Structure 1
């Protein structure tokens, strides 16, 4: 009996320890890590229960965006500590931040001062950077080929989480938007604690089914998005009872859980492939030597092609030099050994790179404008006379198309890059230009145009983020990727503050005050603005800003056209020693 159980136990152990089960656990954690994208659902409850005006609410939204995008602490921790510690810290921050907001909104504690609410939502939202960094950086190192595809699918689940939260919230709480705050406090932390130890660095190996498996995950994610879209249509066209919402919520959970089947199938297929690789030897070398070294992502193009060690290893100062001060010698070597695009930049080198600041400026414009639209969707819908159920539909549409933008730009941009050498930076330029259409539809709304605007802006918002993470990894390498992508994330809250707080919130309150002066009798309690003029000027400004960001991004596309004309992923190809072709990541 014992002998019969050992192979079964060994099989389970291999499944649990495999890369594909790590991938599945990553999807589960990230599918619960997009609470910041449904701020439009519960922002109205905060505004009403705590008696905020629009500028105060937008200031709260700004601190949310700071927390959600400034992940420098998470990045530095991830560079020094194992991923599970990063994830634990994030889980506790999520639970603390959102639970305190829920207690305040439901009046279980005394109304906190505004600065405390800003602190609570910043802490809760910042937990998202810990989840994203701990999972995403680990994922990219475990699957180094096809950055756009890898980042597209994992970031796509973050975008999809908003629609999943919306279905769960309607199924449990009906239309009580205060309940969704408790849901996003509890669920992400619980899922993280369950799957936390699956997230770890695993040496990448040759797997001929890798690309096929990623497309299987993609097809399932598209099926989830299609189901959620169908559920939204049914909920808006037909009056359905509560049990239907519960059924939709249960089906959504089941579809997400079914990723496990794809992961198990992929891991079993790799186990069958592995003995063949082990039996095929060249000069006595076993399958273990087919693995990509952990340090491979940390070696840049220049170092790989020339056979040189990374430039950071060449910064030793000759202690015997007496003519030049040590600082001057270090500075000279620092400048002479400047990395090329695709090499591993150190943090100081990246911060001194013109490419980074061009990318930073374009994202400040693009993501800042997109966040302004996403965070104000509740107030935009209310000012145009839409019902609370319609507003939750807008948020769900943004979430679904946020997902489609992430995976579409991830997989689509990789195909365009490999087949036509179309730079990711050029695709980012086109996405920023496309977003202007959505802003114009909000500035000049007609019947149901807000649904179309939600689709366009959701897609463009998701595509910008997915392309940004891919471009950062391609231009500046993976060695300090966890920190560098977090530094670049400062662009989002900076743009949000300038456009959301200083523009949208200020102009909304000014329009509301003007309406109150003209007709004081129709307003009671909170100050509201109703009509097209509430956000028209705001989104004309958003259109201009996003268009400017597109022009700035075009400059980066011109600067990097020669870099993207190369096979930038050549150094990640894993060649098996049994005569089989390496996996073609473009097909």
Structure 2
């Protein structure tokens, strides 16, 4: 016997797989059904999420030591770091692997391959393997950087497919925001951990074995025990409650505070020439406890049992109503088909009254089909520019500070604030976008709530203001404020990629579809804005200044990056237009699915 309707908390990846908790046939109605819940899967996803950010965005920590240890030029070092992000053009391949073979294999393989790539990177960078030429060294490290990025893509794609498929209305946005928050804080937390446990005289390159170890411990190992195999993937019950997220928010804010306080302390010690390299095992233990403990405790917090009881009651009521018809198989099948049809087109009164609806596409689109839609290209342009604008800050922060003749301490402080701002923006945007779907009082503009593409409009507007401030900054405080705002704009984009892709194009192929946006935006945005625009403007003014500096390429003054920021501000204006156009084109997808109250308040 098939069910006439599904509960809004009984979720699936929309790929046609059967749920272990789906209603049983008439001959097996008395068998005990094991109900799967999403908490273990989400815990595994959140635990693995920080490993990707920690491994990918910490190149600045050991890049200088790598350059000195292998006697590389700045151009060769830039080639190694750039090659890593250009691998984003291929990130849809790991996504397709995840969609085909499941998230457990994706995280296991991603963690294992990432760990191996980092260890080989460490062996080569420490000179344990002698390569004949600098070209071969650059080539090998570039390949290992690409392997690390693609391994992170396997983990990242699995993380957000798990959340997209196992979380429903009221929790999906918050869960995506938290996971993106862990990704954003990854580099900062890994840096704090490394500085806390490193021994006097150790090299910054020893960061790599630590990151490789955490890949195994926090990604591959938990996935073996907490994730189902591909054949067991199916519907699970979303039982997350506001308490689960309050614990996670508290941990994230505390971790962000640790990053800021540690950075400011190191700046103060460096300014006063009091810096010491003594280890602090207590801080390392506290960070690990906050990270793993706040996620692990999710397993023991009270679940949202009311949704399970309601679903069981609905299922029993349907079985009782259809029981007299059990002897008329053909009639029963016809009634089931009618009920299913009503459920599909939204005309079922029972469904509209009892189901907590989730914004989603009626049809699942693969990568090729998705790229045939105007909405995909509108979002691709918006995310590429906003992500590229953020990488301009992280890749050129020291040159900006030097050109404006600010204290060198401003560089580290600005990077720390940028990291924290973008991480908190990820968390807040994911949670607020979920609650905003159900806000009332906005019917005058055609929506019952606030659709998710609206937050791309906000991110674009913030980007315009942030880079206008940076272009005109004449004081350190003004500069730092602009950097912080740009971090907010940058951070808002990432959860929207995951959520909008799932909303508009379905979750059956969300691995490949999301990772296409993630990888392409990182690669193309970095190439366009950081490599071409920023470098071209800087070198043009540096050539003019070099005449007075003995031929040394040095750029001084506000003009070194002023044009770059003005160009980015103008391009963010085009993102404002493209995101508004996307908002209008997707209004029907959101206006019909925002009537139910959110469970996160």
How do 1:145-544 and structure 2 match up within 5 A?
A: 145-146=169-170, 147-173=172-198, 177-197=204-224, 198-200=226-228, 201=233, 203-205=235-237, 207=239, 210-237=241-268, 239=274, 241-243=276-278, 245-260=280-295, 262-266=297-301, 269=303, 282-283=316-317, 303-305=344-346, 342-381=362-401, 383-384=403-404, 391-420=411-440, 421-445=449-473, 446-489=475-518, 490-520=520-550, 529=555, 532-544=558-570
Partner SS state of residue 418, structure 1: coil
Q: Distance in 2 between matches of 1:48 and 1:530?
A: 26
When residues 270 and 561 of structure 1 are mapped into structure 2, their CA distance, relative to the original with a 3 A threshold, is closer
Match of 2:13 in 1: none
Q: Is the 8 A contact 1:90 1:127 kept in 2?
A: yes
**Among 41, 56, 60, the residue aligned to 2:61:** 41
Q: Secondary structure at the match of 1:369?
A: helix
Give the aligned CA root-mean-square deviation in angstroms: 3.7
What is the CA distance between 1:493 and its match in structure 2? 1.0
Cα-to-partner distance string for 1:80-126 (whole Å, 9 max, x where unaligned) = 11323212332243234434443444444434354433322222122
Shift of 1:159: 0.9
Tell me, in whole angstroms, the C-alpha distance in 2 between the residues paired with 1:476 and 1:553. Answer: 17
CA distance in structure 2 between the partners assigned to 1:107 and 1:449 by the alignment: 43
Deviation at 1:127, TM superposition (A): 1.7
C-alpha offsets along residues 448-480 of structure 1, whole Å, 9 cap, x if unaligned?
Answer: 444333322222212111112111111111121
Aligned-residue offset at 1:181: 4.1
Q: 1:122 aligns with which of 131, 146, 155?
A: 146
| Alpha-carbon separation, structure 2, partners of 1:108 and 1:509 | 36
Mapped to 2, the partners of 1:166 and 1:187 lie a distance apart of 13
Give CA-to-partner distance per residue, 1:299-331, whole Å, 9 cap, x none. Answer: 999945269xxxxxxxxxxxxxxxxxxxxxxxx
Q: Work out whether 1:24 is the aligned partner of 2:37.
A: no
Contact 1:70 1:129 survives alignment (8 Å): no
Residue 82 of structure 1 corresponds to: 102
Q: How far off its partner does 1:383 sit?
A: 4.9
Shift of 1:77: 0.8
Query: d(CA) in 1 for partners of 2:184 and 2:169?
Result: 22
Gaps of 5+ in 1: 1-16, 287-298, 308-339, 571-582
Aligned residues of 1:23 and 1:263 also touching (Cα < 8 A): no
User: 1: CA distance between counterparts of 2:342 and 2:319?
Assistant: 26
Q: Deviation per CA, 1:212-256: give whole Å up to 9, x if none.
A: 323332233223223433333344345565457544333222211
* Structure 2 CA distance for partners of 1:502 and 1:279, relative to 1, 3 Å: closer
Q: Which moved more, 1:351-360 or 1:96-105?
A: 96-105
Flag the 1:388–1:80 CA change in 2: closer, same or farther, 3 A.
farther
Counterparts in 2 of 1:22 and 1:83: CA distance versus 1, 3 Å: same
Give CA deviations for 1:322-367 in whole Å, capped at 9, x if unaligned: xxxxxxxxxxxxxxxxxx9553224333121111111111112111
Q: Pick closer, same or farther for the CA change 1:450–1:79 going to 2, 3 Å.
A: same
Please report how far the alpha carbon of residue 404 of structure 1 lies from its aligned counterpart in structure 2 after TM superposition: 0.6
Q: Give the TM-score normalised by structure 1.
A: 0.76
Alpha-carbon distance in 2 for matches of 1:370, 1:167: 22
Return the alpha-carbon distance in structure 2 between the equivalents of residues 104 and 435 of structure 1: 39
- Distance (Å, rounded) in 1 between the aligned partners of 2:223 and 2:107: 7
Shift of 1:386: 6.5
Contact 2:118–2:209 (CA under 8 A) maintained in structure 1: yes
Whether the aligned pair in 2 keeps the contact of 1:372 and 1:504 (CA below 8 Å) is yes
Change in Cα spacing, 1:302 to 1:18, as seen in structure 2 (3 Å) is closer
| Corresponding residue number in structure 2 for 1:573 | none
**Whole-angstrom distance in 2 between the partners of 1:382 and 1:178:** 26
Counterparts of 1:301 and 1:461, CA distance in 2: 42
Structure 1 Cα separation of the partners of residues 73 and 65 of structure 2: 12
CA distance in 2, matches of 1:150, 1:300: 31
Question: For the residues of structure 1 that align with 2:48 and 2:92, how far apart are their CA atoms?
Answer: 20
Cα distance in 2 between the residues matched to 1:96 and 1:19? 30
Pairwise CA distance, 1:568:
4.8
Range with bigger deviation, 118-127 or 407-416: 118-127
Report which stretch shifted further, 489-498 or 382-391. Answer: 382-391
Contact 2:392 2:526 in 1 (8 A): yes
Q: Is the 8 A contact 2:498 2:514 kept in 1?
A: yes
Instruction: Tell me: CA distance 1:449–1:252, structure 2 relative to 1, closer, same or farther (3 Å).
Output: farther
CA distance in 2 between counterparts of 1:57 and 1:442 reads 27
Q: Distance between the aligned counterparts of 2:392 and 2:341, measured in 1? A: 37
Note the C-alpha offset of 1:424.
Answer: 1.5
1:565 aligns with 2:591: yes
Larger CA deviation: 101-110 vs 429-438: 101-110
Equivalent position of 2:336 in the other structure: none
The answer to whether the aligner puts 1:585 opposite 2:599 as a matched pair is yes
Partner residue, 1:4? none
Partner residue of 1:95?
115
| Residue 501 (structure 1) shift | 1.8
Contact 2:70 2:127 in 1 (8 A): no
- Distance in 1 of aligned mates of 2:483 and 2:58: 13
- 1:196/1:391 CA distance change after superposition, 3 Å: farther
Secondary structure of 2:52's match?
Answer: coil
Provide structure 2 residue ranges, at least 5 long, that are not aligned to the other structure. Answer: 1-35, 321-339, 349-359, 441-448
2: distance between equivalents of 1:176 and 1:441? 38
Contact kept in structure 2, 1:224 and 1:252, CA below 8 Å:
yes
Between the aligned partners of 1:96 and 1:539, the Cα distance in structure 2 is 39
Q: Secondary structure at the match of 2:51?
A: coil
Give secondary structure in 2 for the equivalent of 1:144. Answer: coil
